[in-house]
Amino acid sequence: MLKCEHLVKKYITTTAISDLSLEIEPGHIYALLGPNGSGKSTLMKIIAGLVKPDSGTITIDGVPMTYRSKKDIAYMPTEAYFFGYMNCKDIGKYYKDFFDDFDYDKYMGLLAEMELNPDQKAKSMSSGMLAKLKIAVTLSRDSRIVMLDEPLNGIDIIAREKIISTIVRNISDDTAVLMSSHLVDELERIVDHAFFIKNGTCVLQGDAEELRVSRGKSIVDMYKEIYA
Amino acid sequence: MLKMMKYEYRRGIFPLLVVITALAAAELLFLIGVFGKKDICVGLGLIFLILGGFAAYLFVLVYGVIIYSQDLKNKTGYMVFMTPLSNFKIIGAKLLSILLTGATLVVFLAIIMVVDYNVIKTHDSNIAGMEIMLNGILGTNGSSLGTIIANLAAFIVVVLIQFFTMITIAYLAVSLSSTVLQNKKIKGVVSFVLFIVLYVLMSYIAFKLPHLGVGMQAGTMLEALYASLPQFALYVVCMIGSYIGSAVLLSKKISL
């Protein structure tokens, strides 16, 4: 469904993405793995249309991406990005205004599930609350592609289990999920495919179970082997 | 696009309310002076209104450029640019919301000016006398107070258009800084210099362009605007060029 081919993105002194190619299909949860600065977030921003690559192509169902493709992509950045004046309700209305697939009732339900006050302003929230809010607003879209950049950042160990089950429960079978996290062991339980990103390029990828069998080790151990 | 305009206008509403509150305070001082016959309050109120009006207008318009710059540098830009809207629509919505905010302020100031003039004329018979006398003097030169007001109004319209063109050129400079110059260490300086150069060049060309109907007495605002038609056309061309340039730059090289 989504195909990235030979993507390159350079900044002043660094090459964030270097000849990176990958493909994702609906009905799968993909782990995007790598340490800080490996290029995971840049790749997600490129797919979300927030960063233009210097070269390379991205297609969805064989059609090159345009601004219209953004209606098929629900992207959750790792940083807080809401307008200062907005409370949770305002954020929901904003998404409803711009995304036809946004379900406001589902959003209010997720806010309640995550014990967030709909009238609270985003700028007055703790990092943990903001992380939950970002997940709630992103999962309330019924998009073909869902990208979650470090969804467990700022969430305490007790709440992580709940967040992971919320993510898995709220994803439909025809959705492709791309998820990055430093907490590889938390992801290992739910992903069925892994991309290992190093220095902006994909050094290993494959079906999670096949990788485990062929290499005789867990995804966590493969992560340690590649990045240690 | 209208939805984006709504949110952009909403983002700028707080500074606009602060500005309008400050101007309302100056207006209150002026009215206290008129009704309480305190000349010092009238004088101070007028000074604050005139200076405050200019400063407020400048602030509101510059604030629009700051918001755009922040969107391209800070994470709030994700909120704007992750929507399935073209960059033409996003930048158009931003510029139109600035125009709307500026228009709100101009309408507010115009109402204050008309009300204050009539209030002061009612309470000070000298003003009404001076108006008749001034009209008489101007009449001997084939002019009138109405002509001067028409020319002044046309001048304000041209200045506003010129100022709005400056905003679009600033948008172009900010867009350049965040796109083709994003990997340059002195991108801020380069884009600022480019903004100054473009604006000075535009102003120079406008200065060199002829005025239509030289020697003609403009009796209405439209007649006065007709005289500045070449400059007006230049500003519109620059405005549209900067708008298209900004949108194309973002489409080709956006990097949030």
pLDDT tens digits along B109-124: 888 888 888 888 887 7
Contact B183 A10 (CB under 8 A): yes
Interface of A with B in 1-20 (CB under 8 A): 10-12
Contact A79 B75 (CB under 8 A): yes
Given the DSSP bridges, would you call strands A73-76 and A145-149 parallel, antiparallel or unpaired?
parallel
Q: What is the pLDDT of residues B183-223, one digit of tens each?
A: 787 888 888 898 999 999 999 998 898 888 766 666 666 77
Q: What is the mean pLDDT of residues B132-147?
A: 75
Which ipTM was obtained for this model?
0.90
Residue B131 has which token pair?
């108006």
Which carries the bigger pLDDT value, residue B55 or residue B144?
Answer: B55
| A4: confidence class by pLDDT, cuts 50, 70, 90 | very high
Whether B204 is covered by a domain: the verdict is yes
Last-in-domain residue among B90, B123, B156: B123
Paired residues of A204 in beta bridges: A196
Q: What is the mean pLDDT of residues A117-135?
A: 93
| B154: confidence class by pLDDT, cuts 50, 70, 90 | confident
What share of chain A has pLDDT > 90, as a percent? 76
**Residue that has been written with the tokens 């003609």 in this structure:** B216
Q: Are residues B146 and B91 in the same domain?
A: no
Q: What is the mean pLDDT of residues A167-178?
A: 88
What are residue A39's phi and psi, to 5 degrees?
Answer: 115, 5
The span from the CA of B45 to the CA of A225, in Å, is 74
Please indicate if any CB of chain B lies within 8 Å of the CB of A45: yes
What share of chain B has pLDDT > 70, as a percent? 96
Which pLDDT score is estimated for B217? 64
**Residue that has been written with the tokens 């993405």 in this structure:** A17
Which pLDDT score is estimated for B214? 67
For the cut 70, the answer to whether the pLDDT of residue B45 exceeds it is: yes
The domain total for chain B is 2
The sheet with strand A29-33 has its strands ordered as A73-76, A145-149, A176-180, A29-33, A193-198, A201-207
Which pLDDT score is estimated for A129? 92
Q: What is the mean pLDDT of residues A63-73?
A: 93
Please indicate if any CB of chain A lies within 8 Å of the CB of B83: yes
The conformational region for residue B164 under phi > 0 = left, psi -120 to 50 = alpha, else beta, is alpha
DSSP tag of A123: G
Whether B85 is covered by a domain: the verdict is yes
Q: Closest CB to A70: pick one of B3, B7, B84.
A: B84
Q: Are residues B73 and B147 in the same domain?
A: no
Contact A80 B75 (CB under 8 A): yes
The span from the CA of A99 to the CA of A106, in Å, is 14
Please indicate if any CB of chain A lies within 8 Å of the CB of B132: no
Tell me the chain B residues in contact with residue A11 when contact means C-beta distances shorter than 8 Å.
182-183
Residue-range definition of the domain harbouring residue B21: 1-123
Residue B243's nearest CA partner among B182, B138, B144, B168 is: B168
Tell me the chain A residues in contact with residue B14 when contact means C-beta distances shorter than 8 Å.
85
| A207: confidence class by pLDDT, cuts 50, 70, 90 | very high
Whether B110 is covered by a domain: the verdict is yes
Sign of the dihedral defined by the CA atoms of residues B181, B185, B188, B194, in that order: negative
Residue B116 has which token pair?
């204050």
Which pLDDT score is estimated for B218? 62
Please indicate if any CB of chain A lies within 8 Å of the CB of B255: yes
The span from the CA of B179 to the CA of B256, in Å, is 9
Which carries the bigger pLDDT value, residue B218 or residue B255?
Answer: B255
Q: Are residues B109 and B156 in the same domain?
A: no
Q: Are residues B194 and B255 in the same domain?
A: yes
> Letter for the amino acid at A212?
R
Q: Are residues B109 and B149 in the same domain?
A: no
Which pLDDT score is estimated for A141? 95
Last-in-domain residue among B64, B88, B123: B123
Q: What is the mean pLDDT of residues B75-80?
A: 93
Whether B211 is covered by a domain: the verdict is yes
Residue A196 has which token pair?
């290992």
3-state secondary structure of A109: helix
Please indicate if any CB of chain A lies within 8 Å of the CB of B185: yes
Contact A98 B254 (CB under 8 A): no
Q: Are residues B99 and B166 in the same domain?
A: no
Give the Å distances, CA to CA, from B163 to B108, B157, B189.
18, 10, 22
d(CA B18, nearest CA chain A) in Å: 15
Residue A146 has which token pair?
């869902």
Q: Are residues B57 and B147 in the same domain?
A: no
Q: What is the mean pLDDT of residues A202-211?
A: 92
Mutation test of the interface with chain B: which of A43, A45, A76, A149, choosing the one with the most B Cβ atoms within 10 A?
A45
Q: Are residues B147 and B112 in the same domain?
A: no
d(CA B90, nearest CA chain A) in Å: 11
Whether B133 is covered by a domain: the verdict is no
Tell me the chain B residues in contact with residue A48 when contact means C-beta distances shorter than 8 Å.
82
Contact A50 B76 (CB under 8 A): no
For the cut 90, the answer to whether the pLDDT of residue B157 exceeds it is: no
For the cut 70, the answer to whether the pLDDT of residue A90 exceeds it is: yes
* A12 → chain B, closest CA residue: B183
Task: Compute the count of residue pairs across chains A and B with CB atoms less than 8 Å apart.
Answer: 68
For the cut 80, the answer to whether the pLDDT of residue B69 exceeds it is: yes
Contact B76 A85 (CB under 8 A): no
For the cut 90, the answer to whether the pLDDT of residue A139 exceeds it is: yes
Residue boundaries of the structural domains of chain A: 2-80+142-227
Which pLDDT score is estimated for B63? 87
Residues A190, A170: contact at Cβ < 8 Å? no
Contact A70 B82 (CB under 8 A): yes
Residues B89, B4: contact at Cβ < 8 Å? yes
What share of chain A has pLDDT > 70, as a percent? 100
| B146: confidence class by pLDDT, cuts 50, 70, 90 | confident
For the cut 80, the answer to whether the pLDDT of residue B138 exceeds it is: no
Which pLDDT score is estimated for A86? 94
Whether B94 is covered by a domain: the verdict is yes
Whether B134 is covered by a domain: the verdict is no
Tally of CB atoms within 10 A around A22:
19
Residues A82, B76: contact at Cβ < 8 Å? yes
Which pLDDT score is estimated for A72? 93
Last-in-domain residue among B57, B92, B123: B123
Superfamily of domain A2-80+142-227: P-loop containing nucleotide triphosphate hydrolases (3.40.50.300)
Whether B136 is covered by a domain: the verdict is no
Which pLDDT score is estimated for B215? 65
